[in-house]
Amino acid sequence: MKKVIYVLVCLFILALVSFSSGCTSKTVTIVDPTPTPVCGIIGGNSLDDDNSYFSNGLLLAVSFTAATNETVTTLSSKFAVNGGITAMGVYTNNAGVPGTLMVETSQTTAIGWNSVTITPLSITSGTAYWLAVYGSNTGPLDTTTITISSKYMTYSYSTGLPVSPTGWSDASGAVKIYAIGCH
């Protein structure tokens, strides 16, 4: 509907310009003002070296700071064992630990990389966030390239990820989870 109105306004302006200039022809270029979104990995750990594993029953999180205003559309994580409950989520930052749950995925149980579409989540440039993953079975943990802040806590999954979890400890590795989004 916007494009139809836009085209009609442009044609009206073209008619006015033609009429006011003695009906000489004018070249008018109409440009679609809608930019093409740029999408890709916007935070987390997508390394694939599989050299260590985290224990079952843990909620693990890695921090990232949004480089630009983005819309997160997908969360991805890697699991070594299926048959258990796995879920992912995005948390606010609360003084260096995960704060309030902003969005979470449905459950998945497949082995390997799992990508789950989420309700689109707007994040703000320069703001810290946490990507979290729960696994009732084990999952890969990257222990050789720890360049991001990681936290963990024990958690017993029942109906979803905790809304405002407490009791975080420093992790010695970075769980394999990342976010995909567009700006």
Domains in the chain: ranges and CATH: 1-34 (no CATH), 39-182 (2.60.120)
pLDDT (tens digit per residue) in 13-24: 555 555 555 555
C-alpha 59/C-alpha 155 separation (Å) is 6
CB 46 within 8 A of CB 114: no
- What's the average model confidence in pLDDT over 93-115? 87
Displacement of CA 64 from its chain's centroid (Å): 10
Could you report the per-residue pLDDT of 149-183, keeping only the tens digit for each? 788 888 887 788 999 999 999 877 666 778 888 88
Confidence grade of residue 147 (pLDDT, cut at 50, 70, 90)? low
- Position 81: which residue type? V
Look at 33 and 115; give whichever has higher pLDDT. 115
Q: How far apart are CA 69 and CA 89, in angstroms?
A: 19
Which is more confidently placed, 5 or 90? 90
CA-to-CA distance for 105 and 74, rounded, in angstroms?
Answer: 9
Paired tokens of 80: 């070594």
- The structure tokens listed for 172 are 């010695």
Whether the full predicted model's pTM is greater than 0.85, yes or no, is no
**Band of the pLDDT at 1, cuts 50, 70, 90?**
low
- In angstroms, rounded to a whole number, what is the distance separating the alpha carbons of residues 165 and 76? 21
Q: How many whole angstroms separate alpha carbon 113 and alpha carbon 25?
A: 59
Question: Hey, is 76 helix, strand or coil?
Answer: strand
Q: Which contiguous run of DSSP H or E holds residue 8?
A: helix 2-20
* Distances in whole angstroms, Cα of residue 86 to Cα of each of 12, 26, 68, 93: 57, 62, 29, 22
CB 168, CB 98: distance < 8 Å: yes
DSSP H or E segment with residue 101: strand 97-104
pLDDT of residue 144: 45
Give the three-state DSSP class for 73. strand
Structure tokens of 76? 């991805």
- pLDDT tens digits along 29-88: 666 666 667 777 777 665 555 545 556 778 888 888 998 999 999 998 877 665 567 788
Q: Are the C-beta atoms of residues 174 and 142 closer than 8 Å to each other? A: yes
